[in-house]
């Protein structure tokens, strides 16, 4: 027997086995590397979500509830974790706060940007209030829960334009019943997200960890979307920025995932608002493209007196299921000096394509 041939054949078979094992291992590594890399680095887009169906009938959340002042509701935000609603309105005339030498008129309050903030339970009962002097007009606010503590997000550092005060940057502060804050109060954390911007108002998308700011820059209104935690660290890189489409009287906004919802309209009796129908519209903008994908006339609660649309927010009835959200919008009703606040909600989310078919 030729042992050299046997050794040669054994060596060849051994080399072949080792080569096959290396090739197999290489293929496995090549197959696994993209998966592990994508899992380690790729993050799901925060701008992905279903879209609220505005064609259905909206349901009542609260109806005609008094706020701390008797002025018109300006906007509201819902603390889903703690079951609270926060509203803002221009301070009523005739009030004299500590440090003021005399009662102040409503016109002066509006010019200065003085706001009354009311805390309600989910049934609309008042639980507390604050006064915010020199903050702005209150077109939209947001709220963020940290355990049982609510932090309000609003405009601040108001400047006067056309007889009203408007904020020029954003601020975050803890709700404290009975407190009176000014732009100089140490309790405020301030954020200037866009240099040179004014008319700054804000919404917090609690389900997706996003902050959306409406702002005016060079005469045009924009909506910038930012990651909330990064904003709190003073890192201001937007994940989206879209221009505001052509609208009527702007009254508030909310964002949820990939879509922005814009509220417009005016009270009964004003131009274009006929009692029983009104001119309240909600327009939907796709945040990834800036495209208007829906616009609906809102006929909810036609029997309300005055019926001026005011403010939007996202309600999540069960915070364990943030995908089951509701789009809320408000109305001011009744007459001065005892205006009332109502909130209604759309609770059906569908893929955009399903709403277009």
Q: What is the mean pLDDT of residues 103-127?
A: 98
Quick one: pLDDT at residue 357?
A: 66
Q: What is the pLDDT of residue 34?
A: 41
Closest by Cα among 242, 255, 348, 261 to 309: 261
Tokens of 251: 């009254």
**Domain boundaries defined on the chain:** 51-354
Q: 149 pLDDT band (50/70/90 cuts)? A: very high
Q: Check pLDDT > 60 for residue 28.
A: no
- Report how far residue 12's alpha carbon sits from residue 7's, in angstroms, rounded to the nearest whole number: 9
Q: Give percent of the chain above pLDDT 90.
A: 85
Q: Region 152-167: what's the mean pLDDT?
A: 98
Can you tell me the mean pLDDT for 243-259?
Answer: 98
Confidence of residue 130 (pLDDT cuts 50, 70, 90): very high
The fraction of the chain above a pLDDT of 70, given in percent, is 87
Does residue 22 or residue 115 have the better pLDDT? Answer: 115
Mean pLDDT of 307-323: 96
DSSP string of 291-328, one letter each residue: EEEEEEE--S-TTSSS-EEEEEEEE-SSTT-TTS-EEE
Q: What do you get for the CA distance between the two ends of the chain, in Å? A: 81
Radius of gyration of the chain (CA): 27
- Average the pLDDT over 242-265 and give the result: 98
Predicted confidence (pLDDT) at residue 19 exceeds the cutoff of 90: no
- Residues 1-12 pLDDT 10s: 444 433 444 443
Average pLDDT over residues 95-117: 98
**pLDDT value, residue 43:** 64
Q: Is the pLDDT of residue 23 over 70?
A: no
Average pLDDT value for the chain: 90
At residue 4, the pLDDT reads 40
Q: pLDDT of 172-231, one tens digit each? A: 999 999 999 999 999 999 999 999 999 999 999 999 999 999 999 999 999 999 999 999
* Residues in Cβ contact with 350 at an 8 Å cutoff, skipping those fewer than 6 apart: 50, 51, 53
Q: Model-level pTM?
A: 0.88
pLDDT confidence band for 356 (50 / 70 / 90):
confident
* pLDDT for the residue 46: 79
Residue 41 confidence class, pLDDT cut points 50, 70, 90: low
Phi, psi angle pair for 24, to nearest 5°: -60, -45
State mean pLDDT over 39-66. 86
Q: Where does 51-354 sit in CATH, by number?
A: 2.115.10
């Amino acid at each position: 027997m030729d042992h050299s041939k046997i050794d040669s054949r054994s060596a060849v078979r051994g080399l072949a086995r080792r080569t096959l094992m290396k090739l197999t291992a290489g293929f496995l590594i090549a197959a696994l590397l993209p998966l592990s890399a994508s899992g380690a680095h790729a993050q799901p887009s925060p701008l992905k979500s279903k879209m609220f169906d505005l064609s259905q009938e909206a349901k009542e959340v609260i109806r005609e509830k008094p706020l701390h002042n008797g002025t018109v509701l300006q906007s509201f935000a819902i603390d889903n974790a703690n079951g609270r609603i926060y509203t803002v309105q221009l301070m009523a005339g005739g009030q004299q706060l500590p440090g003021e030498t005399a009662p102040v008129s409503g016109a002066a309050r509006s010019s200065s940007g003085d706001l009354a903030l009311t805390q309600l339970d989910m049934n609309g009962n008042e639980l507390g209030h604050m006064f915010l002097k020199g903050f702005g007009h209150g077109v939209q606010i947001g709220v963020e829960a940290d355990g049982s503590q609510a932090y309000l997000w609003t405009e601040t550092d108001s400047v006067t334009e056309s007889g009203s005060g408007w904020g020029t940057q954003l601020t975050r502060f803890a709700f404290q019943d009975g407190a009176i804050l000014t732009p100089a109060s140490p309790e405020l954390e301030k954020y200037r997200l866009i240099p040179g911007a004014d008319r700054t108002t804000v919404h917090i998308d609690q389900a997706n960890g996003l902050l959306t700011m409406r702002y005016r820059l060079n005469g045009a209104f924009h909506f910038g979307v930012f990651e909330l935690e990064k904003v709190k660290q003073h890192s201001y890189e937007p994940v989206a920025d879209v221009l505001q489409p052509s609208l009527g009287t702007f009254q508030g906004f909310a964002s949820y995932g990939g879509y922005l919802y814009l509220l417009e309209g005016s009270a009964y009796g004003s131009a274009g608002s006929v009692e029983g129908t009104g001119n309240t519209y909600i327009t939907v903008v796709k945040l990834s493209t800036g495209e208007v994908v829906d616009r609906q006339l809102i006929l909810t609660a036609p029997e309300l007196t005055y019926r001026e649309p005011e403010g939007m927010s996202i309600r999540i009835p069960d915070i364990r299921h943030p995908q089951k959200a509701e789009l809320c919008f408000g109305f001011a009703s009744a007459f001065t000096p005892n205006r009332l606040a109502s909130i209604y909600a759309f609770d059906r989310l569908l893929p955009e394509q399903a709403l277009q078919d």
